[in-house]
Amino acid sequence: MASPFHILYVDDEEDNLIAFKAVFRRHFQVHLAQSGQDALNLLDQQNIDLIISDQRMPKMTGVELLEQVRVRFPDIIRMVLTGYSDVQAIIDAINKGKIYHYITKPWDVDELKIIMENALETYMLKKKNKKLEEEKTSLQLQNERMEKENILSQFSILKNQINPHFLFNSMNILAALIPSDPDKAVAFTTRFAKLYRKVLELRDQLIIPLSQELEFVDSFLFLQKMRFADSLIVNYEIEPRHQESCLPPFALQLLVENAIKHNIVSEDQPLTIHIFTEGDTLQVVNNLQLRGSVEDSTGIGLANLQARYEMIAKQQIFTGQEGEQYVTRLPLLVEED
């Protein structure tokens, strides 16, 4: 019973074609072509596993044929049939046709059968390896997709914490303004509505450019100035190259908000917040003048920010006291294409 492998034998001499098929049709599915062009036409219509071509043929030599086969059908095993004396043809077949084997005339049936069987065994191993690589790549892509979906799911939970956190703290400021300055409270409410609309626009994004976050913080600070006036001082030193660096949305706003919430802000004790870039980090530094207690602190903000950094970039943020200052360092991220 013939094997499922398809062999194409190419030779311009009809007697050689007939002899090849008579010998090997019991072992393989044998196809014949009497010229290089006939072989190429057949390859367009039939899946072939191995091609053996005679070298000396009119119009297109075996090497010229196998060179085209290598380009158009790279997975097909290629062999050339030539005489001992035709050394240059052998060299060309190796270099140009990238042949698996060259067969010398006259060929021995048993030897040629073993060569073809070995070549096809190698061919099958390559196909299996290629399939395994494709399956491995597919599984990797599937795992990456599942991991990304999991990250997005977790990020969705985290981002939903941002809205109530931002709203909760803003309402506290408004509550403080109402008894002391009702007109400012009204102005605060109007401006806050516009700012909160921006929160809703940005909250679905994983990361945003630093320039966009700075615009948001400026609007946020405008509201804080309604309450604290000159008691709140904010300085910026942002390197131009980092304007389009990225960070999670509301990261900087959260740090500024925390600095205001946890520290005394008054004419006698103004709070100074310094925002600057250093290396590949964004740093927020404020002078420490802690309140006795902050009853409305939930602890959600920084934990949320750290969790978002871990999921998005697998990086840590730094927060802590250094001398008489409180320092936070955020890694600046690069948006992937």
pLDDT digits (tens, 9 = 90+) for 4-17: 889 999 999 899 89
**How confident is residue 275, by pLDDT bands cut at 50, 70 and 90?**
very high
User: For the chain, first and last CA: distance in Å?
Assistant: 55
Q: Which one is predicted more confidently, 164 or 129?
A: 129
Residues 160 and 280 in one domain: yes
Query: Under DSSP, is residue 34 helix (H, G, I), strand (E, B) or coil?
Result: coil
Q: Which residues pair with 104 in a beta bridge?
A: 82
Pull the structure tokens for residue 100: 């698996």
| pLDDT for 81 beyond 60 | yes
Model confidence at 112, pLDDT cuts 50, 70, 90, reads confident
Indicate yes or no: pTM above 0.75. no
> Quick check: is 130 in a domain?
no
Residues 26 and 143 in one domain: no
Beta bridge partners of 208: 247
Domain assignment present for 127: no
What's the pLDDT band for 189 if we cut at 50, 70, 90? Answer: confident
Is residue 336 one of the residues assigned to a domain? Answer: no
Q: What is the separation of C-alpha 335 from the centre of its chain, rounded to a whole number of angstroms?
A: 11
Statement to judge: residues 313 and 167 lie in one domain: yes
Is there a domain that residue 121 lies in?
Answer: no
Q: What confidence category does residue 288 fall into, taking pLDDT thresholds of 50, 70 and 90?
A: very high
More confident residue, 81 or 261: 261
Backbone angles phi, psi at 18, to 5 degrees: -65, -40
In a domain, 237, yes or no: yes
**The last residue of a domain, from among 89, 107, 125:** 107
Q: What is the mean pLDDT of residues 305-331?
A: 90
Q: Are 221 and 208 in contact (CB under 8 A)?
A: no
| Residue 204 confidence (pLDDT) above 80 | no
Nearest-angstrom CA–CA distance, 67 and 64? 5
Structural domain count of the chain: 2
Structure-token match 């053996």, residue found: 52
Q: What is the CATH number of the domain that holds 318?
A: 3.30.565
Residue 273 belongs to some domain of the structure: yes
Q: Residue 256: which of 213, 212, 200 has the closest Cα?
A: 213
Same domain, yes or no: 191 and 150: yes
Is the bond leading into 182 cis (omega within 30 degrees of zero)?
A: no
Q: Which two tokens stand for residue 239?
A: 């390197």
pLDDT at 319: 93
Exposed e or buried b per residue across 127-136, where buried means at least 16 C-beta atoms within 10 angstroms of its C-beta = eeeeeeeeee
- Report d(CA 260, CA 266) in Å as an integer: 11
pLDDT at site 165: 58
Q: How many other C-beta atoms lie within 10 A of the C-beta of residue 45?
A: 7
Return left, alpha or beta for 320; rule: phi > 0 is left, psi -120 to 50 is alpha, else beta. left
Q: Which of 62, 87, 107 is the last residue of a domain?
A: 107
Check if the beta carbon of residue 54 is closer than 8 Å to that of residue 12.
yes
Q: Residue 323: how many CA atoms within 13 Å on its side-chain side? A: 5
The reply to whether 76 and 157 lie within a common domain is: no
Same domain, 44 and 190: no
Task: Find how far residue 30's CA is from the centre of its chain.
Answer: 46
Burial class (CB in 10 A: 0-12, 13-18, 19+), 19: middle
pLDDT of residue 151: 56
Question: 106 has which bridge partners?
Answer: none
More confident residue, 117 or 167: 117
- Whole-number Cα distances in Å, 184 to 55, 178, 215, 248, 271: 94, 8, 22, 31, 21
pLDDT tens by residue, 38-77? 999 999 999 998 999 888 888 888 888 988 998 899 888 8
- Phi and psi of 86, rounded to 5°? -90, 65
pLDDT class for 295, splitting at 50, 70, 90? low
Per the structure, the complete domain to which residue 308 belongs is given by 136-331
- Maximum Cα–Cα distance for the chain, whole Å? 110
Which residue's entry shows tokens 């040629």? 112
Instruction: Write down the pLDDT at residue 83.
Output: 66
CB distance 184 to 175 below 8 Å: no
Judge if 154 and 32 occupy the same domain: no
Name residue 234's amino acid.
V
Same domain, 102 and 173: no
Q: Is there a single domain that holds both residue 232 and residue 308?
A: yes
pLDDT at 120: 81
Residue 262 falls inside a structural domain: yes
At 248-266, the pLDDT tens digits run: 888 898 899 889 989 999 9
Task: For residues 273 and 146, state if they share a domain.
Answer: yes
Q: Look up residue 49 and give its two tokens.
A: 């596993």
Same-domain status, 261 and 304: yes
**Domain match, 184 and 84 both:** no
CATH number, domain at 60? 3.40.50.2300
| Distance separating alpha carbons of residues 21 and 6, to the nearest angstrom | 12
Residue 113 lies in a domain: no
Q: Kindly tell me if the per-residue pLDDT of 228 is higher than 80.
A: yes
Q: Can you list the alpha helix ranges (DSSP code H) found in the chain?
A: 14-24, 36-45, 62-72, 87-95, 109-180, 182-202, 210-228, 251-262, 300-313
Q: What is the pLDDT of residue 159?
A: 53
Ranges 143-157, 200-214, 233-247: which has the least confidence? 143-157
